[in-house]
């Protein structure tokens, strides 16, 4: 299946089963805005819980906060977002479409990477088991030429972006002969900077003095509370503050479903460390975070690290964890070494000291910060797209199954009576009442058992419990496993343990 088709399939599955709906759909929707439905909100909550448990509850030196979306406007002046939170934009004069100039260039780089991958595939085909990928990548003439090309483009882009040389970015687009994907023309405007923050007015006062922003990242709520938390929690460095919350960006190219939205959720953690130790912690958190991802079992090959070409204005080292989305490898999470930039800036603008007294070295200093920042919606898309499978069955039919990690599945078990007669529904409901206190359960008595199983497969429910006539005689039920489709007869008393073992988050957190 083509990758674009896969994304379309995910979007339609998400809507059909109540995971994600276009926002304000009865008014034809609002671009790049989505609502999470009854199953989507459960899945989202479970992802949050996995993150929160592993980052906050499993780390004695990390605590969580929940700070306001609105903040004093000086926060965004200090953080650099008012002056530097810009995207370089370019318009195509024929299609009137607007693009991020750096994204157009990165698309070219991605195409060249595709050529390298094709060479590798040819090599595999030619040499079979004797194929040595590392050696091939280091010696093949075509690969080396394409690698050189990529390096040349990346170097030019980095130099231009870092020095705010927008003409240089424009010239690179011209030299690469990039055409508008819609009109096919190379008739471009110059490149301009565009600030991504949404603004609004506070209270009844209008004008510049009342202008406030919707936060473009949750991190600043953590920075301005650094001393509050450190003092009230008697925290000792190194320690972290975590937060999950909404962020807002007026994205120009908002597309690809929930991948890039104007209102989205972040799960961020700022880890405060002694100056000079930031690189050690940067490596530590890169390692911790990739492990967190891989434990979900979505496939290790779906992840790769990507070092930033253009560093954000606050960072001295930054890497993305990229995921193989239906649109290809794209950023899922960022790990940034933010230095002491933010705290120092807040000290300067607020006039308040934001320092830590380190008893071990008897010194006051502004801590350095290593940040991990993951988009919750992107994580949702990564899970949905990699778990959505269309399987051919032995009898020739097909089933759609969401192989969600059981701990994240919206429903853990569906309880069903075989028929609506002979007091089977009553028995099923009494089992449901017991299981409900432990797990999110669904009751389903409509349609044939086969159809009901398919419905649960499609929403990722790990177990189905079927109550039949034998249940009334010996208190046993059949329990069906979503992935193997095998059914086993067990006693009702065993259900909580069997289901609990499978859906517990404990394994993921070990
Ligand atoms: N505090 C650092 C920060 O905000 P970022 O790389 O700009 O860094 C962090 O954003 C993460 O937030 C990204 O890796 C991505 O997962 C998510 N994210 C950023 N912009 C987004 C958008 N428009 N829609 C959905 N998720 C987004």
Q: What is the pLDDT of residue 209?
A: 66
- At 41, the pLDDT band (50, 70, 90 cuts) reads very high
Which of the 8 DSSP states describes residue 352? -
Of 224, 346, 240, 347, nearest to 284 (Cα)?
240
Closest atom, ligand 1, to C-alpha of 254: 23
Q: What is the pLDDT of residue 310?
A: 67
Which of 331, 369, 371, 372 gets mutated to test ligand 1 (max ligand atoms within 8 A of its CB)? 331
For 97-125, b/e burial (b = at least 16 CB within 10 A) is eebbbbebbeebbeeeeeebeebbeebee
Which of 330, 378, 380 gets mutated to test ligand 1 (max ligand atoms within 8 A of its CB)? 378
Q: Is the pLDDT of residue 1 over 70?
A: no
Q: How many CA atoms lie within 13 A of 201 on its CB side?
A: 8
Ligand 1 pocket member 324 (CB < 6 A) = no
Ligand 1 pocket member 216 (CB < 6 A) = no
- Measured in Å, residue 217 CA sits from the centre of ligand 1 at 8
The per-residue pLDDT for range 80-139, each reduced to its tens digit, is 999 888 889 999 999 999 899 998 999 999 999 999 999 998 988 888 888 898 899 999
Rounded Cα distance, 303 and 200, in Å: 38
- Measured in Å, residue 266 CA sits from the centre of ligand 1 at 7
- Measured in Å, residue 221 CA sits from the centre of ligand 1 at 16
Q: What proportion of the chain, given as a percentage, has pLDDT over 90?
A: 84
Q: What is the pLDDT of residue 321?
A: 97
Per-residue tokens: 174: 């011209």
Q: Is the pLDDT of residue 206 over 80?
A: no
Q: What is the DSSP string of 120-134?
A: HHHHHHHHGGG--HH
- Measured in Å, residue 102 CA sits from the centre of ligand 1 at 16
Ligand 1 pocket member 333 (CB < 6 A) = yes
Closest atom, ligand 1, to C-alpha of 332: 16
Mean pLDDT, rounded, of the chain: 93
3-state secondary structure of 34: strand
- Measured in Å, residue 466 CA sits from the centre of ligand 1 at 43
Of 228, 230, 216, nearest to 268 (Cα)?
216
Q: What is the largest CA-CA distance in the chain?
A: 81
Cβ–Cβ < 8 Å for 220, 76: yes
Ligand 1 pocket member 249 (CB < 6 A) = yes
Sequence-ordered list of residues with C-beta below 8 angstroms from that of 120, at least 6 positions apart, any chain: 133, 136, 137, 143
Rounded Cα distance, 15 and 37, in Å: 8
Of 67, 84, 74, 69, nearest to 346 (Cα)?
74
Ligand 1 pocket member 123 (CB < 6 A) = no
Closest atom, ligand 1, to C-alpha of 334: 14
Q: What is the pLDDT of residue 432?
A: 96
Angle separating helix axes 424-436 and 495-503, nearest 10 degrees: 50
Ligand 1 pocket member 331 (CB < 6 A) = yes
- Measured in Å, residue 377 CA sits from the centre of ligand 1 at 10
> Using CA positions, which residue lies closest to atom 14 of ligand 1?
333
- Measured in Å, residue 339 CA sits from the centre of ligand 1 at 19
Ligand 1 pocket member 261 (CB < 6 A) = yes
Ligand 1 pocket member 444 (CB < 6 A) = no
CA-angle at 335, arms to 361 and 244, nearest 5°:
95
Q: H/E/C letters for each residue in 266-315?
A: EEEEEEEECCCCHHHHHHHHHHHHHHHHHCCCCCHHHEEEEECCCCCCCC
Token pair 């934001």 is at which residue? 354
Is pTM beyond 0.85 here?
yes
Parallel, antiparallel or unpaired: strands 211-213 and 199-201: antiparallel
Parallel, antiparallel or unpaired: strands 368-375 and 328-339: antiparallel
Rounded Cα distance, 280 and 445, in Å: 56
3-state secondary structure of 99: strand
Rounded Cα distance, 112 and 144, in Å: 11
Element (H, E) at 29: none
Ligand 1 pocket member 217 (CB < 6 A) = yes
The pLDDT of 28-48, averaged and rounded, is 95
> Using CA positions, which residue lies closest to atom 22 of ligand 1?
260
Bridge partners, 375 (sequence order): 266
């Amino acid at each position: 299946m083509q990758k674009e088709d896969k994304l379309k399939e995910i979007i339609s599955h998400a809507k059909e089963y109540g995971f994600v709906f276009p926002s304000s759909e009865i008014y034809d929707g609002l671009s790049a805005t989505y609502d999470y439905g009854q199953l989507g909100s459960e899945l989202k909550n479970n992802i949050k819980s996995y993150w929160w448990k592993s980052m906050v509850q499993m780390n004695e030196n990390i605590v969580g906060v929940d700070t306001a979306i609105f903040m004093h406007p000086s926060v965004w002046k200090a953080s650099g977002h008012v002056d530097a939170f810009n995207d370089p934009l370019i318009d195509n004069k024929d299609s009137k479409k607007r693009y991020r100039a750096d994204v157009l260039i990165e698309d070219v780089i991605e195409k060249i990477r595709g050529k390298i991958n094709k060479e590798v595939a040819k090599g595999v085909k030619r040499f079979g088991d004797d194929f040595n990928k590392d050696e091939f990548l280091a010696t093949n003439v075509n690969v080396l030429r394409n690698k050189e090309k990529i390096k040349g483009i990346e170097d030019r882009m980095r130099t231009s972006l870092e020095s705010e040389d927008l003409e240089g970015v424009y010239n690179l687009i011209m030299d690469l002969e990039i055409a508008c994907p819609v009109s096919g023309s190379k008739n471009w405007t110059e490149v301009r900077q565009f600030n991504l923050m949404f603004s609004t007015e506070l209270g009844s006062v209008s004008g510049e003095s009342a202008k406030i922003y919707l936060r473009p990242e949750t991190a600043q709520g953590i920075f301005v509370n650094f001393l509050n938390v450190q003092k009230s929690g008697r925290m000792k460095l190194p320690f972290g503050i975590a937060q999950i919350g909404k962020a807002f960006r007026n994205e120009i190219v908002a597309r690809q479903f929930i991948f890039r939205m104007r209102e989205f959720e972040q799960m961020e953690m700022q880890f405060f460390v002694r100056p000079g130790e930031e690189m050690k912690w940067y490596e530590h958190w890169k390692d911790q975070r990739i492990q967190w991802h891989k434990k979900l079992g979505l496939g290790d090959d779906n992840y790769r690290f990507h070092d930033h070409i253009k560093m954000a204005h606050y960072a001295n080292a930054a890497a993305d964890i990229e995921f193989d989305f239906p649109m290809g490898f794209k950023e899922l999470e960022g790990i940034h070494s933010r230095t002491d930039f933010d705290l120092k800036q807040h000290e300067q603008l607020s006039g308040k000291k934001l320092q830590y007294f380190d008893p071990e070295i008897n010194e006051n200093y502004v801590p350095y910060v290593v940040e991990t920042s993951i988009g919750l919606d992107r994580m949702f898309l990564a899970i949905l797209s990699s778990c959505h499978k269309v399987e051919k069955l032995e009898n020739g039919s097909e089933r759609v199954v969401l192989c969600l990690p059981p701990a994240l599945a919206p429903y853990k078990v569906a309880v069903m009576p075989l028929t609506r007669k002979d007091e089977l529904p009553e028995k099923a409901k009494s089992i449901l009442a017991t299981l409900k206190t432990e797990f999110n359960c669904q009751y389903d008595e409509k349609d044939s058992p086969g159809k009901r199983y398919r419905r649960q497969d499609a929403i990722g429910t790990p177990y189905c419990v079927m109550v039949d006539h034998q249940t009334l005689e010996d208190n046993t039920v059949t329990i069906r496993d979503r992935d193997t489709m095998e059914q086993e007869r067990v006693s009702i008393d065993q259900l909580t343990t069997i289901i609990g073992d499978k859906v517990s988050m404990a394994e993921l957190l070990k």
